Amino acid sequence: MNLIQWSIKWSIPLEAIEDLRREFGMTDTDPEHMGGESEAAIQTRIRLEATCKGGRLWRNNVGGTYTVDGGFIRYGLANDSKQMNSKIKSSDLIGLKPVAITQGHVGGVIGQFVAREVKAEGWSFSGTPREQAQLTFLEIVVALGGDAAFANRSGTL
């Protein structure tokens, strides 16, 4: 576990972690450079950012496995069947973010569904069948009022 993962576990704001680094002279471990440009490092930063903004994002693993008694279990969103999963691929991160409602909605707060399909830094959409299926999921979420996007850096929430 690294400092970023620990801060997510304890819901420590990114600003507090950055202040801690400065106080202890840890400038060489800036979160923008921790872990390089990998998808995993970007995913960690996006999750921390969401937490700092009052939201929560969870990893959405998608796949299937055989059980000890020989049954087959599919897991993850939009993975009801192999056929469905070939057309719609749910995002890496799924969660909620707080949204203040206008006076027309009595000033309450709702949780808006959030989906982020995380990519390594420098990635660009090329239109492969996999990317098209990922885009389909994002489009469904947006069409129903959610917040969904491809993300290859923090600052996307």
List the Cα angle 110/42/15 in 5-degree steps. 65
In a domain, 112, yes or no: yes
User: What are the pLDDT tens digits along the chain (157 aa)?
Assistant: 566 667 777 777 766 777 776 666 655 444 444 445 688 888 988 998 888 888 999 999 999 999 999 999 999 999 999 999 999 999 999 999 988 777 777 777 788 999 999 998 888 889 999 999 999 999 999 998 899 999 987 666 6
In a domain, 100, yes or no: yes
In a domain, 156, yes or no: no
Burial of 6-20, coded b for 16+ CB within 10 Å and e otherwise, reads: ebbeeebebeebeee
Range of the domain at 54: 3-151
Residue type, 70: G
In a domain, 62, yes or no: yes
- Residue 10 corresponds to which tokens in the numbers above? 């304890």
Structural domain count, the chain: 1
pLDDT of 90 reads 95
**Pairing assessment for the beta strands 56-59 and 93-100 based on DSSP bridges:** antiparallel
In a domain, 157, yes or no: no
In a domain, 64, yes or no: yes
